[in-house]
Amino acid sequence: MNKNSSEESVDFTSLYHRAPCGLLTYAINGSVIQANKTLLEWLNITHEEIVNKTFTDLLDRGGQLYYQLFVYPMLVLQKEVKEIHLDIRSASAAFPCFFSASADSDNDGQTTLIHAIVFKVAHRKKYEDELLRKKTAAEKENQQKAQTLQEVAFYQSHLVRAPLANILGLADLLTMYNSEDDIQDIIVLLKESAAQLDTVIKKIVGKANS
């Protein structure tokens, strides 16, 4: 099949209107000239309704300001913009999108028409929101686990250190009595071991608090 017959077999009007993205043409002053059926269905409006609007009518206040200060100057100076995040809306529908556009110029180089393509990103935004929710939940769970471990370490240390204090106190009392040398040596070892254990427990608690 040659090139001409291939082109003749393509229904470009159907391709334009059934494209899986919104297509829009508007004048440099913003007046909408043409929109495909995909965009009309997303906005739940008719072609007659949209051609009575300007492109900025389809934006919220923040989007209108951003378009006038950033997007419009870029279209005039550089003749194109790519993947600008905007929120498109009508009276009965709204959705976030990626907006890309190119500008046509006349023989004098003056911008006359804007051809835009709109990719709906509602599902992507939901996915990103779900990821953020899961991340926040995981961080909260980790904080709760850390707090629980800290509390366990605190209470366990007190449970262990209390009898250790008794052992150390009793050992001090025993050293006040006249005892055989071997017993005195055992008492000294007992005190040293208890003190070492107490030091280790303090370090564990310190790490849990850090």
- Do 3-120 and 127-209 come out as alike in CATH topology? no
| Position 24 pLDDT exceeds 90 | yes
How far from the centroid of its chain's Cα atoms is residue 151's Cα? 32
Distances (CA, A) of 150 to 139, 153, 157, 203: 16, 5, 11, 13
Average pLDDT value over all residues in the chain: 81
Convert the pLDDT of each residue in 49-106 to its tens digit: 999 999 999 999 999 999 999 999 999 999 999 999 999 999 999 999 999 999 998 8
| Position 46 pLDDT exceeds 90 | yes
Q: What integer pLDDT is reported at residue 131 of this predicted model?
A: 73
| This prediction's pTM | 0.56
For domain 3-120, give the CATH number. Answer: 3.30.450.20
Rounded CA gap, 9 and 196, in Å? 89
What order do you get walking across the sheet with 80-89 strand by strand? Answer: 32-35, 22-27, 111-120, 94-105, 80-89
Q: What integer pLDDT is reported at residue 153 of this predicted model?
A: 65
With beta carbons less than 8 A apart as the criterion, state whether 57 and 76 touch: no
Rounded CA gap, 187 and 168, in Å? 10
**127-209 is a CATH 1.25.40 domain:** no
Annotated domain spans of the chain: 3-120, 127-209
Rounded CA gap, 122 and 20, in Å? 14
